[in-house]
Amino acid sequence: MTHTKDEALKLALEALVFNNKEWKSLADSGDAGFWSAEEQDHYKQTEEAIKALEEALSKQEQGVPVGVGGYLTTTTPQQRTWVGLTDDEIEQGIKESWVTEQAFQSAVWWAEAKLKEKNT
């Protein structure tokens, strides 16, 4: 099975979280002697890796540039489909405005054209 980079990162995160919970559970039980998981280097390193993965995945979901292995990768947030005003909404705006119908409709078309320019 082939995984995308994001799927692989999420799988690694899940494995690290599960592993550290198991280590902490073992330490807290006292079955393996008396030691604190939080004081172990491998536990600390795994916690650091967990935080780094969570931060990278969170930023990636938000479309923020993320550095991975010395490389800067950028992700683009999923673009939403443009939704303009309906004819009914324009009619309502005309009724609620103090300008003429033609002036209002021209203003709406101008505003939509500008918004399309900025968002595409």
pLDDT at 16 > cutoff 80? yes
* Same domain, residue pair 63 and 92: no
Q: Mean of the pLDDT values across residues 86-95?
A: 80
| Residue 77: per-residue pLDDT | 59
Note down the domain range covering 101: 87-119
pLDDT at 107 > cutoff 80? yes
**Residue 42 falls inside a structural domain:** yes
- In order, the DSSP letters of the chain are ----HHHHHHHHHHHHHHHHHHHHHHHHHTTT-S--GGGSHHHHHHHHHHHHHHHHHHHHHTT--EEETTEEE---PPPPPP----HHHHHHHHHH-SS-HHHHHHHHHHHHHHHHHHH-
| Residue 79: per-residue pLDDT | 66
Q: Which residue would you say has higher pLDDT here, 23 or 75?
A: 23
The values of phi and psi at residue 91, to 5°, are -60, -40
What are the tokens at 13?
A: 């995160």
* Same domain, residue pair 102 and 44: no
Evaluate if pTM is beyond 0.75. no
In this structure, what is the dihedral angle of CA atoms 13, 16, 22, 23, given to the nearest 10 degrees?
-150
- Which of 38-52, 62-76, 91-105 is least confident? 62-76
Please state, rounded to an integer, the average pLDDT across all residues of the chain: 75
* Same domain, residue pair 57 and 100: no
* Same domain, residue pair 61 and 19: yes
Q: Mean of the pLDDT values across residues 105-120?
A: 80
What are the tokens at 30?
A: 């006292």
| Residue 37: per-residue pLDDT | 73
